Amino acid sequence: MKRGLLLLGLLIALVASCLVGVSLGAFQISVPDVLRLLHLLPGQGPGALADQVLWQVRIPRVLLAVLVGATLGCAGGLMQGVFGNPLAEPGVVGISVGAAVGAAVAILIGLTALGAWTQTIAAFAGGLITVFLVYFLARNNGRTEVVTLVLTGIAVNAFCGAILGLTMFLSTDSQLRAITFWNLGSVGQATWSSVAAVFPFALAGLIAAPVFARKLDLLALGERPARHLGVNVERLRIQAILVIALLTAAAVAVSGVLLFMGLVVPHLVRMVFGPGHRYLLLGSAVTGAVILVLADLAARTLVAPAEIPLGVFTSLLGSPVFFWLLVRTRAKQGGWA
């Protein structure tokens, strides 16, 4: 009951943050005027310009931030449960950069076979290849150690970064601008088309993720107890990895690389909801959406009229948390030696 009320509170916070997000900016629209333009309050709206700004700029941007934040938060919670350690995160282990490589290669070779879906599919393929590469390289005697996972992710991130650099070197000016977008991360280019492109993938992943909750709770007891309780651990991990890649690639394909969202969000939720994955995954999705809406709002208003790249903003906030978690994890394992 308590966790249900907390989840309801998060949903209310999400609605409130969205209202603030569509209200504030270079062209400010008061919250009552926003509600009037949405036909939720009676009365005359502020005019055609405000109506255009709201429907063509603000709402697509905020909706995209909601989708991206929810997918990255949920993917982070799912990945930490699958790998059984607190440092697993789509960005840290290379999925985000791998997805960006897939999208960048599609841009470089001019691939448009699938229309608006092309970059999303290419990002999904890149993220999937990367996560399986990290997973199999990090395994040792049937286990995936925290440090090995992080070090393997660092190596794969470096390799993918080199490929991104190569695509930038070989690209034209227009392609270079598009690829640079993936490195910095932003939802500033949001349109209704980009929202429509990511929505089916995000929805499919967010629906599929809670299906694994009970098995992830059993896996948290250890691989051997989970097997005795009827969990096919390898099948569970492969299926969950597919969902993680789907969620992450969907986000990266429209927002670029946003590191540490999938690391920080599940930890915040776990501190409030506890370790049970049913509420952890749902809470991570909603919390991720709230945080990214507010982070995007801060990125576009703190130094207005300039805009801080959203990926830079999330990295500045998330990297100290990652370092703290790394130190705490090593301390629990008996030090750095």
pLDDT at 334: 54
Q: Tens of pLDDT along 159-170?
A: 988 998 899 888
- Residues 287/7, Cβ–Cβ less than 8 Å: no
Residue 251 lies in a domain: yes
The CA distance from 127 to 138, in Å, is: 16
pLDDT at 1: 67
Residue 263 lies in a domain: yes
The values of phi and psi at residue 128, to 5°, are -65, -45
The CA distance from 291 to 314, in Å, is: 10
Q: Tens of pLDDT along 179-224?
A: 877 678 888 888 888 898 889 989 999 999 999 999 999 988 888 8
pLDDT at 146: 62
Q: Tens of pLDDT along 44-64?
A: 767 788 888 889 999 999 999
Highest mean pLDDT among 33-47, 51-65, 123-137: 51-65
Q: In angstroms, how far is CA 7 from the centroid of its own chain? A: 19
Residue 8 lies in a domain: no
The tokens for 154 are 């660092």
Residue 91 lies in a domain: yes
- Looking at every residue in the chain, the average pLDDT score rounds to 84
The CA distance from 153 to 329, in Å, is: 17
pLDDT at 286: 96
Residue 188 lies in a domain: yes
Above 90 in pLDDT, residue 65? Answer: yes
At CA 44, angle to CA 42 and CA 47, rounded to 5? Answer: 140
Q: Tens of pLDDT along 79-121?
A: 889 887 777 778 777 788 888 888 889 888 888 777 767 877 8
Q: Give the pLDDT mean for 309-333.
A: 78
Number of domains the chain is built from:
1
Q: Does residue 316 or residue 85 have the better pLDDT?
A: 316
pLDDT at 18: 94
Contacts of 56 (CB under 8 A, 6+ apart): none
Q: Give the pLDDT mean for 28-41.
A: 83
CATH number for the domain that contains residue 166:
1.10.3470.10
The helix-helix angle for 277-301 and 59-83 (nearest 10°) equals 140
Q: pTM for the whole thing?
A: 0.87
Above 60 in pLDDT, residue 335? Answer: no
Residue 205 lies in a domain: yes
Q: Does residue 330 or residue 299 have the better pLDDT?
A: 299
pLDDT at 329: 67
pLDDT at 336: 40
pLDDT at 21: 93
Type of residue at 148? T
Q: Tens of pLDDT along 249-294?
A: 888 878 888 878 888 899 889 888 888 899 999 999 999 999 999 9
Q: Does residue 106 or residue 322 have the better pLDDT?
A: 106
pLDDT at 95: 81
Residue 145 lies in a domain: yes
Using 50, 70 and 90 to split pLDDT, how confident is the model at 142?
low
pLDDT at 337: 38
Above 90 in pLDDT, residue 150? Answer: no
Instruction: Please give the residue range of the domain that contains residue 102.
Output: 74-276+303-332
Residue 6 lies in a domain: no
130, exposed or middle or buried, with CB in 10 Å at 0-12, 13-18, 19+?
buried
pLDDT at 287: 95
